[in-house]
């Protein structure tokens, strides 16, 4: 199962890898989003994958939304839930339901530069190398066991956008390799 909030470029890479036979043991049970009209949901619908939306704005509070998201995801009985640009912090109920099986990608070499602005923070700090991380998400912010990481050099001319695009290329490859490894072990 994959959760998205935006364009779903990582999701598309996984869909493409599944369709190309690069992930023969991976089946995307469903794609869910936290808001309507995301391109990620459109991508999955076009690929014939079941989609759903648990719109954050439809709930009184974060706890109610988190409960609804947890229940909806559990209904698919996924082996793993992949946060693919899912820009909501899930609560304890969700983390406990998918303990050890909630996978996140992050555009920095964790534990450096956690949070929503990893690329911007790396540039502001002046590091010469950043990268991306695939990890098991836990109750912390971008904490949890690291599954894979790869460095990306920062060019002097990089902007937040250009660097983030280069990181995304590596992120897609690492996510696919991680999913292949996890599928072999199931």
Taken in order of first residue, the domains within the chain and their CATH numbers are: 2-185 (3.40.50.170)
Give pLDDT, residue 109: 98
Q: Are 43 and 12 in contact (CB under 8 A)?
A: yes
Tokens matching residue 41: 């949901």
Alpha carbons 105 and 110: distance in angstroms, whole number: 10
Answer whether the bond into residue 165 is a cis peptide, omega within 30°: no
Residues contacting 57, CB < 8 A, separation 6+:
35
pLDDT tens for the chain, 186 residues long, are 999 998 999 999 999 999 999 999 999 999 999 998 899 999 999 999 999 999 999 999 999 999 999 999 999 999 999 998 898 989 999 999 999 999 999 999 999 999 999 999 999 999 999 999 999 999 998 999 999 999 999 999 999 999 999 999 999 999 999 999 999 886
Tokens matching residue 177: 């390799």
Q: Annotated catalytic, 106? A: yes
Q: Are 101 and 167 in contact (CB under 8 A)?
A: no
Give pLDDT, residue 186: 67
Q: Which residue of the set 106, 117, 135, 164 is catalytic?
A: 106
Give pLDDT, residue 85: 86
Give pLDDT, residue 172: 96
């Amino acid at each position: 199962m994959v959760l998205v909030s935006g364009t779903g470029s990582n999701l598309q890479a996984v869909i493409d890898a599944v369709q190309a036979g690069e992930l023969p043991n991976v089946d995307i049970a469903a794609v869910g989003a936290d808001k309507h009209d995301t391109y990620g949901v459109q991508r999955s619908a076009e690929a014939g994958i079941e989609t759903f939306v648990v719109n954050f704005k439809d709930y009184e509070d974060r706890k109610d939304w988190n409960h609804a998201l947890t229940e909806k995801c559990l209904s698919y009985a996924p082996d793993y839930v992949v946060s693919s640009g899912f820009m909501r912090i899930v609560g304890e109920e969700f983390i406990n339901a998918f303990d050890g099986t909630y996978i996140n990608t992050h555009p920095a070499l964790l534990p450096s530069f956690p949070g929503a602005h990893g690329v911007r923070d790396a540039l502001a700090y002046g590091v010469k190398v950043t990268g991306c991380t695939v990890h098991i998400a836990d109750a912390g912010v971008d904490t949890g066991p690291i599954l894979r990481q790869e460095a990306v050099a920062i060019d002097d001319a990089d902007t937040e956008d250009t660097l983030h695009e280069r990181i995304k290329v590596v992120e897609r490859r690492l996510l696919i390799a991680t999913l292949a490894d996890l599928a072999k072990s199931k």
